[in-house]
Amino acid sequence: MKKLAVLFAALSVLLSDVMCAVTAYAWCDMEWGGRYLGYSAPPETALIHAIPYLFGIVLCVILAVVFAKKAKRKA
């Protein structure tokens, strides 16, 4: 159980890094597209890309805590 807790904790950190990269890329695309290509949506709409990642991060953190508690009880 300890290995699963560490795995899900590491996965939540990895997901947060990927979320930041994807959202920043989408923000820049919307910013420059609005200036030069005529995008009609504001750059703030790029934050929508973060929502699925947030759900995944919260789920991984919850699973890491549950597995850590089970590992502690077992020991």
% residues pLDDT > 90 (the chain): 96
Structure confidence by residue, pLDDT tens digits, 12-36: 999 999 999 999 999 999 999 999 9
Whether pLDDT at 11 is above 90: yes
d(CA 4, CA 14): 15
Tally of structural domains, the chain: 1
Single pTM value for the model: 0.88
Range of the domain at 14: 2-74
The residue assigned the tokens 């930041």 is: 20
- What confidence score (pLDDT) does residue 74 get? 84
Which residue, 61, 67, 24, 19, is CA-closest to 43?
A: 24
- What confidence score (pLDDT) does residue 27 get? 97
